[in-house]
């Protein structure tokens, strides 16, 4: 097995404008490129190509970290005095609390900088390491955390998310964050057809979300957006669930999304189950700051983003 390597990169920017109108946020921060969690369904594998890397195992084994990210962010925010973002999304590509964060503390440094300027953040992660930074989240009114979790089954978890924290630990993080006054919910994503969308699996997860007092649950089906991601996912599927390969081929052969005829009735049932438990079913487009982001004229005058195309990922 190849060892994990870590390589510093010097970013021109850390806070990057998101101009796509379909995205539910206007600014994003991703302190890392590549992710040690190694989820087989992660769309961000394709972004490793921007670094001259392959989208296969190198995505998990060659991690780029943004050197001096908090200082770069601080310099950007100083230039934006009087027109600061109302809200920043952290972890829209790779997990800001992957294992390296325990030592590098780039995400914590960025949160310290946001707290200094009073800019709220929404964090998406699969890791309870976010609890380490409760003190900072409590200093920034309006901040929230989205914990990604789509199943409780230990076999499904280990087959598709080989290096992520256990689902129960993530649910405990949801509970503890809400107890501390930080809005925390569950991104129920990616839901895997035939594997994690059965009634027993869904109801078990939603019962656990209810017990954890999740502020919301946002369900979303698997997306295989590029040939590289699709190839890697099908390799995992062939190894772990060969009986589903043909069915997935029919669903995803010519598309990135599962067909609406399959997805729509399933999601409608899931939303009814969410509501039956007194949970809030929150749509992706609604997961943003309660007030519109500040108007930032001439945002393109900032240094070009070093992150490449920005997309929101629930997984």
Is residue 9 a part of any domain in this protein?
A: yes
| Within-domain flag for 225 | yes
Per-residue confidence (pLDDT) for residue 300, from 0 to 100: 26
307 within some domain = no
Residue 111 has pLDDT above 50, yes or no: yes
Is-contact 59 42, C-beta < 8 A? yes
| Nearest partner of 112 among 186, 183, 29, judged by Cα | 29
The domain tally of the chain equals: 1
Q: Is residue 300 part of a domain?
A: no
Q: Of 122 and 92, which is predicted with more confidence?
A: 122
Does the pLDDT value for residue 304 go beyond 80? no
Note whether residue 14 is domain-resident: yes
Q: Is 160 exposed, middle or buried (0-12, 13-18, 19+ CB in 10 A)?
A: buried
Per-residue pLDDT of 1-49, as tens digits, reads: 578 999 999 999 999 988 776 667 789 999 999 999 999 999 877 666 6
For residue 138, the surrounding DSSP H or E stretch is helix 134-139
Residues forming a β-bridge with 144: 122, 183
- Of the ranges 69-73, 162-166, 224-228, which one carries the lowest mean pLDDT score? 224-228
Please check whether residue 201 is in contact with residue 171, taking contact to mean a CB–CB distance below 8 angstroms: no
**DSSP reduced 3-state for 57:** coil
Residue 12's domain comprises 5-286
207 occurs within a structural domain = yes
On whether residue 314 sits in a domain, the answer given is: no
Is residue 242 situated within a structural domain?
yes
CATH number for the domain spanning 30: value is 3.20.20.70
Indicate the range of 51-60, 121-130, 163-172, 259-268 predicted with least confidence.
Answer: 51-60
CA angle 66, 289, 83 (to 5 degrees): 65
Average the pLDDT over 151-173 and give the result: 97
296 — pLDDT class (breaks 50, 70, 90): very low
Residue 30, classed as helix, strand or coil, is coil
């Amino acid at each position: 097995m190849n060892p994990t390597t870590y390589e510093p990169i010097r970013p021109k920017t850390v806070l990057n404008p998101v101009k796509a109108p379909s995205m539910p946020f206007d600014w994003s921060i991703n302190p890392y490129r590549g992710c040690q969690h190694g989820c087989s369904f992660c769309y961000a594998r394709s972004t490793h190509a921007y670094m001259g890397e392959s989208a296969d195992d190198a995505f998990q084994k060659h991690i780029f970290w943004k050197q001096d990210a908090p200082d770069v962010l601080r310099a950007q925010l100083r230039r934006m005095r009087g027109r600061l973002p109302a809200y920043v999304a952290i972890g829209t590509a790779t997990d800001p609390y992957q294992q390296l964060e325990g030592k590098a503390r780039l995400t914590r440094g960025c949160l310290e900088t946001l707290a200094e300027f009073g800019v709220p953040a929404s964090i998406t992660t699969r890791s309870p390491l976010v609890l380490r930074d409760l003190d900072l989240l409590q200093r920034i009114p309006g901040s929230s955390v989205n914990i990604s979790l789509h199943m409780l089954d230990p076999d499904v978890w280990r087959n598709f998310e080989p290096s992520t924290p256990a689902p129960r630990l993530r649910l405990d993080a949801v509970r503890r964050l809400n107890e501390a006054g930080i809005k925390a919910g569950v991104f129920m994503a990616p839901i895997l057809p035939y594997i994690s969308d059965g009634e027993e699996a869904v109801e078990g997860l939603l019962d656990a979300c209810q017990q954890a007092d999740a502020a919301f649950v946002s369900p979303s089906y698997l997306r295989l957006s590029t040939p590289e991601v699709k190839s890697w996912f099908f390799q995992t599927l062939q190894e772990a669930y060969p009986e589903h390969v043909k069915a997935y081929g029919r669903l995803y052969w010519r598309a990135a999304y599962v067909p609406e005829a399959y997805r729509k009735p399933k999601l409608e049932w899931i939303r009814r189950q969410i509501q039956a438990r007194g949970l809030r079913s929150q749509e992706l487009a609604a997961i943003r700051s309660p007030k519109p982001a500040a108007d930032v004229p001439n945002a393109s005058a900032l240094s070009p983003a070093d992150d490449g195309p920005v997309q929101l990922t629930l997984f």
